[in-house]
Structure 1
């Protein structure tokens, strides 16, 4: 029997860039999925950061 092919959807972790630069303790991270074929570049989304209490840019980490 042939092996089952891996799907195109992968789980990625988004981390706040502004929080990391500020040097404050803690991190703001979100887990989401992306399609490997359609989105080959790293994701960058605006998400709410509960520590800074505002919407900030979250980038994909690996």
Structure 2
């Protein structure tokens, strides 16, 4: 049961990335370090 998720930048709040995850095996929210083009920095992005 894969679902599409949107990753939002924690510092500026923009929606930058779309990904997918298996909700059955990973019910927790996804967090990862990604490049934010608005700030031009690598920042923490969390699942919306």
- Considering only CA atoms, is the larger Rg found in Structure 1 or Structure 2? 1
Paired position in structure 2 for 1:52:
39
**1:19 aligned residue (12, 20, 24):** 12
Query: What's the CA shift for 1:28?
Result: 4.0
Structure showing the higher strand proportion among its residues: 2
How do residues 26-41 of structure 1 correspond to structure 2 at under 5 angstroms?
A: 27-41=14-28
Aligned length: 48
Which structure 2 segments of 5+ residues have no match? none
Q: Contact 1:28/1:51 (CA < 8 Å) preserved in 2?
A: no
The 2-side partners of 1:28 and 1:60 are apart by: 10
The 1-side partners of 2:47 and 2:37 are apart by: 18
Structure showing the higher helix proportion among its residues: 1
The 1-side partners of 2:12 and 2:21 are apart by: 23
